[in-house]
Structure formats: structure tokens, C-alpha cells
């Protein structure tokens, strides 16, 4: 085996990939331009929509205002609430669903006395109508909920006073909750739920096109035979191609992560959010992240190369890759669910192990057994797949399948 020959194939494949518009689009345009733009636009409009709806007053219609004057006074005093009279008092629901009114309150007869405990009959409920699919109706609901709470507290005070009790009667103790998780861990926890999934998708998607193009694609275009009659050994050809796929996969993942960071940071900066302010990972975590990432890139590349060598042409290779990709996505998705603890032997399952180890590392947990199982199982499987690819590349019935 001559490393210079491997280098020649490697450089040829990398040069070819750089000149391929499709590779450039999937490697650079999508992660660096498309993702941030998508996140930016979606994030911007959703936050803007929320802010807009909070900046505007909520239009509320009250039926039976005379039955609860204190409540109505509270509502009227709130500058974010505008009491409007419904044009069709009998049917304000219509205006609510149309959006001209954001919430309706129907107060039954004789309530205030009932609520204050002056009547023995069970009070009828106050009916509040809103539209959960409309942002402004949601905002109106939040505002009214706060006011209702004040109203309720006021009434309870009245009731307590009547029987000679103080308002702290209902609060035998005070409590204070403190979140000890540092900002770094909080951000890590949040990133840990989306990042592993994202990384695994990027590794596969980035390498997929190139891996198929330089294996099945070469067969299809008839260029493979010219390599086979050269001085290169078959092992050198496979290794050169393999390392190039690994590089492309790693670069697209790296660019994807930059794209994702831009996507998360830019809207946050524009809107003055400080979500990522506390992000700082130690060198050890960063190193361990890389240590688990490289075997994963190696495994994905070897599987893609193996499929590409086996397939007759690009189309066939894509057909074989689709279920493999779906399995990878499925395994990565398991880590999206909160609260699942993986048993130690399950850390031998590729992709699943990575997604959980990434999650652990992001919140600063270093579990040596998990790391060892992950790295060793992925490396072994990558080597097995690479060996199978090399063997297959030596079989003429695979190389010249028709």
C-alpha cells in the first residue's frame, strides 16, 4: 500500500467534489445561507408577532357588566384592555372568531354577592370565551387571567375579614425555589435535545451525494475501468475515496454547525435575546466531542462507500441509501425525547450511542463507559464496513454488474 497513491485519489475526489455544483449547494449554500435565513425568518416573524400582539390592547366584550362592577373596574383600569361593546350582544362569538373582539366575558346574574359569600347558593360560573389559534386572543386570555386572580384574592380577603381572619391565613408558609443549574448547563440541556439529531443528519446528507458519485457514479460513467488498469491497487483506490468522503462529510457537518450557530445567534442578537450568552464548553468536552464525532463520520462514510460500490448506478445507490438514512434518523430521534436513560449495553448501537453521548457532553457529563462503548463500537463497525467495501471492490461480479 502506497500512501502517495491514496493521496492522489483523495485529491482527485476532493477536487471533483469542489467543482461539482451539487456538492457545493448541499455543503455550503444550504447550511451557511439557507438554514440561517430560514431560522431567521421564522424566528423573526414569530417573535415579532408575539411582541406586536403584546403591544396592542386586547378588545374584550363583557355581557352582564352590571353583575360584577368590581371586576369590570379592574378590567377598565388595565391600560392593555379595551372594553368594547359588541355590535351583536346576543352573539359576540361571531365577532370573536372574526377577530374584531379577542375575548368575551359573560357574567351571570347576582354574582358579586355570591362571590363575596353573601348568598348560600352555589355561584354560576363566569364564562370566558377565546380563540386558542389566534395570537391576540391568547394574549387577552393571559391578561384576563392575571386580573381574575387579583379579583379572586380581593374576594377571598373580604370573606376572611368577615369571619375575622387575616389574609395570611391561607399562606401558612413561604417558599422560594432556586435553580442551581448554571447557564452553561441550561443552554447545554436545550442544545442537547436538538444538536445530536442535527449533527447526524448533517453527516449523512453532506457525504451522501459525493459517496455515491465517486463509486456507483464512476461505474455508471465508465471511468472505473481506467482506474483499475492503472498502477493503483484496489485497496489504495477504496481508501483514497473513503478518506475523501470522510473529509466532505466532516466539512459539511462543520459548515452545518456554523450555519446553525448563525441561525440561533442572529435572531437572538437582533431581538436582544441572551439565550446563548452563557455558552462556553471546556477544552476536555470539546476534545471528547471530537473523539466521538470522528468514528461516527468514519462509520457513515464507510457505509455510504460500501453501498456505492455495491450499487450498479447512482439511482440504485440512492434507493439503497434511503432506508439506511431513515434508520439513522430514527436512532437519532430517540435522543430527542426527554427523560430516556440508555442502558450501558445500548451504547454499543451506533448513532443511538452518539446522540446520547453528545447530549451528555453538552450538559457537561463525562461517563467513561459510555464514551468507550461509543467510540469502540463505531470504530469497529466502520472498519468492518470498510473491509467489506474493499473486498467488494475486488469482486469482478460486483464491479461489472449489469
Residues that bind other proteins (CB under 8 A): 5, 8-9, 12, 15-16, 19-20, 221-223, 225-232, 396-397, 399-400
Name the minimum Å distance from CB 11 to other proteins: 9
If the CB atoms of residues 19 and 120 are measured against other proteins, the closer one turns out to be 19
Question: Any idea how long the chain is?
Answer: 402
> Which grid cell is 167?
389574609
Tell me 82's DSSP state. E
DSSP assignment string, 299-336: HHHHHHHHHHHHSSSHHHHHHHHHHHHHHHHHHHHHTT
Q: How far is the CB of 388 from other proteins (least distance, A)?
A: 20
Q: What crossing angle do the helices spanning 352-362 and 368-393 adopt, rounded to 10°?
A: 140
Distances in Å between the alpha carbon of 29 and those of 21, 71, 206, 275, 314?
Answer: 10, 57, 12, 26, 23
Task: Report the nearest approach of other proteins to the CB of residue 305 (Å).
Answer: 18
Quote the least distance from Cβ 371 to other proteins, whole Å: 40
| Counts for the chain of helices (H) and strands (E), in that order | 16, 4
Four-point Cα dihedral 327, 330, 332, 337, nearest 10:
-160
- Of residues 5 and 353, the one with the C-beta less far from other proteins: 5
Closer residue to other proteins in complex, CB, 3/400: 400
As measured in angstroms, the least distance from the Cβ of 240 to other proteins is 10
Starting at the edge strand that comes first in sequence, how are the strands of the sheet with 103-106 ordered?
A: 81-83, 58-63, 103-106, 127-129
Pick between residue 22 and residue 76 the one whose CB is nearest to other proteins. 22
Nearest distance from C-beta of residue 314 to other proteins, angstroms: 14
Query: Closest separation between CB of residue 24 and other proteins, Å?
Result: 12
Distances (CA, A) of 247 to 155, 242, 258, 346, 364: 69, 9, 16, 28, 28
Alpha helix (H) ranges present in 133-233? 135-162, 183-213, 216-221, 224-228
Write down the least CB distance from residue 14 to other proteins, Å.
12
Decide whether 5 or 138 has the Cβ nearer to other proteins: 5
Q: Based on CB atoms, which residue is closest to other proteins, 181 or 225? A: 225
Q: Tell me the closest approach of the beta carbon of residue 217 to other proteins, in angstroms.
A: 10
180 vs 229, which CB is nearer to other proteins?
Answer: 229
Rg (CA), the chain: 32
Q: How far is the CB of 396 from other proteins (least distance, A)?
A: 5
Nearest to 355 by CA among 165, 120, 193: 193
Residue pair 64/106 in contact by the 8 Å Cβ criterion? yes
Residues 6 or more apart from 45 whose CB is under 8 A from it?
Answer: none
d(CA 201, CA 338): 19
3-state secondary structure 170-193: HCCCCCCCCCCCCHHHHHHHHHHH
Q: Which is nearer to other proteins, 147 or 399 (CB)?
A: 399
Burial profile 119-153: b = 16 or more Cβ within 10 angstroms, e = fewer: eeeeeeebebbbbeebebbbbbbebbeebbeebee
For 129, the 3-state DSSP assignment is strand
**Cβ closest to other proteins, residue 50 vs residue 230:** 230
> Min. distance of Cβ 389 from other proteins in angstroms?
18
Choice between 16 and 364, CB closer to other proteins: 16
Q: Give whichever of 140 and 224 is closer to other proteins, judged by the CB atom.
A: 224
Amino acid at each position: 500500500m502506497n500512501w502517495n497513491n491514496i493521496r492522489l485519489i483523495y485529491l482527485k475526489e476532493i477536487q471533483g467534489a469542489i467543482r461539482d455544483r451539487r456538492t457545493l449547494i448541499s455543503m455550503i449554500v444550504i447550511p451557511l445561507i439557507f438554514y440561517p435565513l430560514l431560522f431567521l425568518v421564522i424566528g423573526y416573524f414569530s417573535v415579532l408577532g408575539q411582541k406586536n400582539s403584546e403591544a396592542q390592547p386586547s378588545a374584550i366584550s363583557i355581557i352582564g357588566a352590571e353583575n360584577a362592577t368590581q371586576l369590570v373596574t379592574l378590567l377598565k383600569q388595565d391600560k392593555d384592555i379595551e372594553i368594547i361593546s359588541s355590535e351583536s350582544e346576543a352573539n359576540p362569538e361571531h365577532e370573536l372568531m372574526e377577530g374584531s373582539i379577542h375575548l368575551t366575558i359573560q357574567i351571570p346574574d347576582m354574582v358579586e354577592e355570591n362571590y363575596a359569600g353573601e348568598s348560600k347558593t352555589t355561584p354560576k360560573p363566569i364564562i370566558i370565551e377565546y380563540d386558542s389559534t389566534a395570537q391576540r386572543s391568547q394574549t387577552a386570555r393571559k391578561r384576563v387571567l392575571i386580573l381574575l386572580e387579583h379579583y379572586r384574592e380581593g374576594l377571598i380577603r373580604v370573606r376572611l375579614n368577615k369571619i375575622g381572619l387575616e389574609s395570611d391565613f391561607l399562606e401558612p408558609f413561604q417558599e422560594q425555589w432556586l435553580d442551581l443549574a448554571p447557564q452553561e448547563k441550561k443552554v447545554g440541556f436545550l442544545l442537547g435535545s436538538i444538536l445530536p439529531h442535527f449533527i447526524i443528519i448533517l453527516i449523512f446528507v453532506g457525504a451522501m451525494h459525493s459517496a455515491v458519485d465517486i463509486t456507483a457514479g464512476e461505474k455508471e460513467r465508465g471511468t472505473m475501468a481506467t482506474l483499475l488498469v492503472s498502477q493503483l491497487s484496489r485497496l489504495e483506490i477504496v481508501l483514497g475515496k473513503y478518506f475523501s468522503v470522510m473529509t466532505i462529510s466532516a466539512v459539511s457537518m462543520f459548515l452545518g454547525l456554523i450555519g446553525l450557530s448563525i441561525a440561533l445567534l442572529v435572531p437572538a442578537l437582533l431581538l436582544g435575546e441572551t439565550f446563548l450568552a452563557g455558552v462556553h464548553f471546556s477544552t476536555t468536552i470539546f476534545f471528547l466531542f471530537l473523539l466521538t464525532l470522528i468514528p461516527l463520520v468514519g462509520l457513515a462514510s464507510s457505509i455510504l462507500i460500501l453501498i456505492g460500490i455495491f450499487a450498479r448506478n447512482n439511482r440504485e445507490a440512492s434507493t439503497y441509501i434511503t432506508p439506511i438514512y431513515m434508520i439513522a434518523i430514527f436512532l437519532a430521534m430517540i435522543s430527542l425525547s426527554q427523560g430516556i436513560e440508555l442502558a450501558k449495553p445500548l451504547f454499543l448501537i451506533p448513532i443511538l450511542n452518539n446522540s446520547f453521548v453528545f447530549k451528555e457532553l453538552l450538559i457537561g457529563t463525562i461517563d467513561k463507559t459510555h464514551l468507550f462503548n461509543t467510540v469502540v463500537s463505531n470504530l469497529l463497525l466502520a472498519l468492518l464496513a470498510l473491509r467489506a467495501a474493499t473486498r467488494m471492490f475486488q469482486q469482478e461480479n460486483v464491479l461489472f454488474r449489469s
